[in-house]
């Protein structure tokens, strides 16, 4: 029997929706994110799922959002880029769609996609993904499933502290976000922009292009970011001893210029004997990782939960 799942990747600028049929992802539909209100965004999500579904039955829907998720309720406990703060999104969408719906953090779902091949087959059972973009996100997959922690808030890898004085006092999350000394503060795209400007480049993108062209100062700029990232990688290896640490996000286009220094630094800080089989590489899942991971989540959780359900068309439930 054909399994038909819909994945929705909600970002601050666009919403991507696609159908995963027996492990094969269809062409996503991308639209600008509705930012006026939670109600307007929810209406957009319902409409997007209905368009993706068409007249064919659907088994379940997975949704990834850039938020700290209460996994038990599918509620965004903290949401800064989309208007979903404190919205019980899973319950609302289940009622509107009449289908099983599962909601998770977008970076965690990108990690789930990274663990699977293009055909939906699980390739890597244990991995950690760092997404290095404007900020630093991440996801953890253990034994083929997303690791969420006790409440669902796990894998905020950008907020691990890689350089701080313990006598600085209690962090003020209102005044400082990200916190000084955190991986996001020191190894994000914003941090690369700052490093680049200090060395005469317009921004991080220009520094990466110059480094790829052989500019020695630009190469060192990217390497500094790589060495900082290497501390985060070392922490991940010491904690999880994963099969793969994958680096995604826009900054990952620097490739070995970033990963070479990162690997060297990580090797210096990993406990001897740990990480002996860990591969550190650029993420392979690509720009559709979020929407693919959302659909994969729907299938996994549907099977894990053993929910009683009947595949149905969206029109039957509206």
| Tens-place pLDDT, residues 59-91 | 999 999 988 899 888 998 888 789 999 999 999
Residue 118 is assigned to a structural domain of this protein: no
Is 9's pLDDT higher than 80? yes
Say whether both 293 and 268 belong to one domain. no
Q: Which two tokens stand for residue 158?
A: 């950008």
Percent of the chain with pLDDT over 70: 92
Say whether both 10 and 106 belong to one domain. yes
pLDDT of residue 310: 64
Say whether both 84 and 43 belong to one domain. yes
Of 100, 112, 68, nearest to 87 by C-alpha is: 68
- Tens of pLDDT, residue by residue over 84-134, are 999 999 999 999 999 999 999 999 999 999 999 888 889 999 999 999 988
pLDDT of residue 313: 74
Q: Could you check whether the bond before residue 147 is cis, i.e. omega within 30 degrees of 0?
A: no
Cα(15)–Cα(184) distance, rounded to whole angstroms?
24
Residue 293 is assigned to a structural domain of this protein: yes
Q: Which two tokens stand for residue 30?
A: 């991308």
Averaged pLDDT score across all residues of the chain: 90
Say whether both 139 and 171 belong to one domain. yes
Say whether both 94 and 130 belong to one domain. no
Look up the CATH number of the domain holding residue 15. Answer: 3.30.420.40
Alpha helices in 122-215 (DSSP H): 183-187, 189-198, 204-212
Of 174, 160, 146, 139, nearest to 249 by C-alpha is: 139
Query: Domain range spanning residue 302?
Result: 4-111+287-317
Packed helices 216-240 and 256-269: angle between N→C axes, nearest 10 degrees = 40
Residue 263 is assigned to a structural domain of this protein: yes
Tell me the average pLDDT across 140-166. Answer: 87
Say whether both 141 and 278 belong to one domain. yes
Cα(27)–Cα(45) distance, rounded to whole angstroms?
17
Say whether both 297 and 256 belong to one domain. no
Say whether both 156 and 261 belong to one domain. yes
CA distances from residue 112 to 41, 98, 298, 303 in whole angstroms, order as listed: 25, 25, 11, 16
Residue 146 contacts residue 109 (beta carbons within 8 Å): yes
Residue 120 contacts residue 22 (beta carbons within 8 Å): yes
Percent of the chain with pLDDT over 90: 70
Residue 104 is assigned to a structural domain of this protein: yes
Say whether both 134 and 280 belong to one domain. yes
Residue 303 is assigned to a structural domain of this protein: yes
Residue 131 is assigned to a structural domain of this protein: yes
Say whether both 197 and 216 belong to one domain. yes
- Tens of pLDDT, residue by residue over 241-251, are 999 999 998 89
pTM: 0.86
Residue 34 is assigned to a structural domain of this protein: yes
Residue 137 is assigned to a structural domain of this protein: yes
pLDDT of residue 170: 59
Tell me the average pLDDT across 225-241. Answer: 96
Residue owning tokens 């973009």? 133
β-strand 145-146 against 244-248: which pairing, if any?
Answer: unpaired
What is the per-residue burial (b if ≥16 Cβ within 10 Å, else e) of 178-199?
bbebbbbbbbbbbbbbebbeee
Q: Which two tokens stand for residue 82?
A: 């989309």
256 Cβ neighbours under 8 A, 6+ residues apart: none
Say whether both 160 and 27 belong to one domain. no
Say whether both 84 and 140 belong to one domain. no
CA distances from residue 318 to 61, 101, 176 in whole angstroms, order as listed: 16, 15, 45
- Tens of pLDDT, residue by residue over 22-59, are 888 999 999 999 999 999 999 999 999 999 999 899 99
How many independent structural domains does the chain possess?
2
């Amino acid at each position: 029997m054909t399994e038909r799942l819909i994945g929705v990747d909600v970002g601050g600028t666009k919403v991507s929706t696609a159908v995963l049929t027996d492990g094969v992802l269809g062409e996503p539909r991308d639209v600008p994110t509705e930012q006026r209100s939670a109600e307007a965004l929810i209406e957009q999500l319902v409409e997007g799922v209905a368009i993706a579904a068409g007249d064919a039955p659907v088994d379940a829907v997975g949704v990834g959002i850039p938020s700290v998720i209460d996994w038990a309720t599918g509620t965004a406990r903290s949401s800064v880029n989309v208007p979903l703060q404190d919205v019980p999104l899973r319950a609302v969408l289940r009622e509107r769609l009449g289908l099983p719906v599962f909601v998770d953090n977008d970076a965690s779902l990108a990690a789930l996609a990274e663990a699977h091949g293009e055909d939906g087959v699980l390739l890597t059972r244990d991995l950690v993904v760092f997404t290095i973009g404007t900020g630093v996100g991440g996801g953890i997959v253990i034994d083929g499933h997303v690791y969420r922690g006790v409440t669902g808030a796990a894998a905020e890898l950008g907020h691990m502290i890689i350089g701080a004085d313990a006598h600085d006092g209690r962090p003020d999350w209102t005044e400082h976000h990200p916190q000084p000394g955190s991986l996001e503060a020191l190894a994000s795209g914003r941090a690369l922009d700052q490093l680049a400007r200090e060395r005469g480049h317009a921004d991080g993108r220009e520094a990466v292009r110059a480094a790829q062209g052989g500019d020695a100062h630009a190469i060192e700029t990217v390497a500094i970011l790589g060495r900082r990232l290497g501390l985060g990688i070392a922490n991940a290896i010491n904690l999880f001893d994963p099969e793969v640490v994958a680096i995604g996000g826009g900054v990952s286009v620097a490739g070995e210029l970033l990963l070479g220094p990162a690997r060297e630094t990580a090797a210096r800080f990993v406990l001897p004997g740990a990480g002996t089989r860990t591969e550190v590489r650029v993420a392979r899942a690509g720009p559709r990782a979020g929407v693919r991971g959302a659909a994969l989540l729907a299938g996994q959780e549907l099977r894990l939960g053993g929910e009683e359900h009947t595949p149905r068309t969206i029109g039957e439930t509206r």
